[in-house]
A and B are shown apart, each in its own frame.
Chain A
Amino acid sequence: GVYAYLEMLGAQAHEAALKQEEKEQQEEKLDRLKKRVEELRLQRDKLRAKVDLQEKRNLGKEGFVSEPAQPSAQSVIEWKIRSLRALLQIFYLTGISGKPTKQGVCFCISTAYEGTYLDTYHVDLLTTADVQIYRHSIPVFIPLGQIAKKYLQTDIRRFLAVLSEHLNAYAGRRFQVEQLQEHFSEQIEGPLQKNSLCNLLVFKYNMSSESKTFLLNAKLLYGDICSSLPTEVTVSCSPDAPAFLTEVAAAHSDLFRRMALHKAFHSISTAGSMEA
C-alpha cells in the first residue's frame, strides 16, 4: 500500500540522483580531457616552434637574423657533462670499459659479431691487497678461473683481453646459430643440437636438387674456443643417397670450415642446387 509506494518513490529518487551524479562526472571528465588536450597542443606547438628556430639557425638560412642567446654558465657546464657521458658511452663500443670503484675497478666487456653488438659482461675487481674477483656475470662455461689464475695477478689488461677473446668467440658462435635458426629454419630438419658453449653443433638440413629433397647431417666442432670458426666439420648423407650427394657434402663441409654458418647457408641457397 502506502508504504510500498513511498519506498518506490524513494528508490526512484535515489536512482535519479545516481544518474545525475554519473552525468555530472562524465561531463567533468570530458571537460578535464578537453583542457588537457588544449594544454598539450599548446606545449607541442611551442616546442615545434623552438625546434624550427634551432634548425633555421643551424642551417644559417639567408635573411634570418639569429640572435643566439648567450648560453648561461650552467648550460655550458651541462653541455660538457653530456659530452663526457657520450664519450664514456663510446667506450662500450671499443670492447673494454672500466670504472674505478671504492675498492677497485668494475670492468665491462662488450661482445660483437661484425657490426652487431651482442651481450655485455661485467667483472668487478678488488685491488686493495692482491687482485680478487668480487662479482662477475661471466657464464659458467667460460674458463674464468683458468684465465684468472694465469693473468689476473700479473697483468690485468691481458686478463681482460683473453677473457674478451673467449667471450667474443662464444658470442660469435651463438650469433651464427641464432641467425641460422632465424633465417634458414626451413632448411633445418628437426632440432639443432648444441652445447652451452656453442662449440659443438649437430643438425640435419635439407637441400634440393632437380625437385627432389635430400637430407644431410652436419656436425661442427669448434676445437679452438677462442675462434668462431669450426676446427672439424663432418657433413654426411645417408648410405642410400645418390653419388653426387657425397660431393655436395664434401663441398659443404669445406664451406662450413671457412665461412660463418649463416653466411655459408646464404651462399648455398643463393647458389641454387650444388650440382657437381
Chain B
Amino acid sequence: MDNSTCQAYEDEIRSLEEEIKLLAGKYEDNQQESTFFSDEEILMAMKSFKEEFRGDYKGYESPSDLEAQLESLEKDLSFVMKFTGLQFTSHSKKTVERTGNRAVQRHRLSGNCHSLSFQLEFQLLEEQNKDKVSVVVTDLSIVLESGEDSDVSKFVSSIEEHGNLLMFFRSLSSYAQWCEHRSSTFLHFKVE
C-alpha cells in the first residue's frame, strides 16, 4: 500500500514538473512575442538601467555585463548582415505550439538584399527525436520586390511550393555578390 502511494506521488511530481516547464516556456514566449520596443526605448532603458544600478546588483556583475551582451550581439549581427548582404529590417515570431519535444513557430521577416526588398512568412517546426533535432519549413510565402518580372515570379513560386527557404537566400546572396561585383567593375571603368 505504501509503495503504490509513493509511486503515485512520484508520477504526479514528474507530470507537474513537466507541466511547469511547459507553462514557464509559454509564459516566456508570450512575454517576448507580444511586446516590442523601439531602438529609442532600448537606449532609454540602457541609460536608466545604469542609473538604477548604483547600489543594487540584480544578478549581474555590473551594468556593463548586460551592456556587453547587447553590444556583442549587435556586433555579431552587424557582421553577418554585412558579410552576406542580407539586411533584416524586422522580425517577429509567434509560438503557435509547444509540447514536450516539439515547437511550431510562425515567423515574419522583412529585409533587403542590395536593392531588392523582401517580406517572408513561414512556419518553422522543430522536433526533437532521440538525439537529433529536425527543422522543417512549411507554409512559406514570399513577397519579392521587382516580382513583376515573370522569371522572378516563377522562381518565387517554385521556392514557395517546395518551402525552399535556404535556396531563396542563397540565390539572393549570389545576386548580391553579382551586384557588388558589377558595381565595383563599373566603378573601375568610371575611374578609367
Contacts and interface: CB of A to CB of B under 8 A. Distances in A.
Interface of A: 26, 29-30, 33-34, 36-37, 40-41, 43-44, 47-48, 50-51, 54-55, 57-58, 71, 73-74, 76-88, 90-91, 93-100, 105, 110-112, 114-117, 157-158, 161, 164, 168
B131 interface: no
A88 B12 contact: no
B179 interface: no
B37 interface: yes
Contacts of B138: 115
Given A115-B137, A161-B174, A26 B2 contact: yes
A95 B170 contact: yes
A117 B166 contact: yes
A57 to B, nearest CB: 8
B173 A95 contact: yes
Interface of B: 2, 5-6, 9-10, 12-13, 16-17, 19-20, 23-24, 26-27, 30-32, 34-35, 37, 41-42, 44-46, 48-49, 52, 58, 66, 69-70, 73-77, 79-80, 83-84, 86, 88, 91, 93, 107, 109, 124, 134-138, 140, 162-167, 169-170, 173-174, 177
B41 A100 contact: no
Interface centre among A29, A57, A95 (most CB of B within 10 A): A95
Among A47, A85, A87, A88: residue with most chain B CB under 10 A:
A87
30 contacts: A30-B9, A33-B6, A47-B23, A51-B30, A57-B34, A73-B48, A74-B66, A77-B46, A77-B49, A77-B70, A79-B35, A80-B42, A84-B74, A88-B77, A90-B91, A90-B107, A93-B124, A96-B84, A99-B79, A100-B76, A112-B164, A112-B165, A112-B166, A114-B162, A115-B137, A115-B138, A115-B165, A117-B135, A157-B173, A168-B166
Contact of B165 (A51, A82, A93, A97): A93
Contacts of A115: 136-138, 140, 162-165
The listed residue with most A CB atoms (<10 A of its CB), out of B34, B164, B169, is B169
A29 B30 contact: no
A40 B12 CA distance: 9
B83 A93 contact: no
- Tell me the dominant secondary structure on chain B's binding face: helix
A233 to B, nearest CB: 22
Contact of B23 (A48, A82, A83, A88): A48
* 10 cross-chain pairs, A with B, having the tightest CB-CB distances, nearest first: A115-B163, A76-B45, A94-B169, A33-B9, A73-B49, A40-B16, A84-B73, A112-B166, A117-B135, A115-B137
Q: Which of B49, B83, B136 has the most CB of A within 10 A?
A: B83
Contact of A40 (B17, B45, B107): B17
Nearest to B30: A54
Contacts of B76: 88, 99-100
A105 B24 CA distance: 36
B120 to A, nearest CB: 10
Nearest to B67: A77
A58 B16 contact: no
Given A41-B16, A76-B42, A157 B66 contact: no
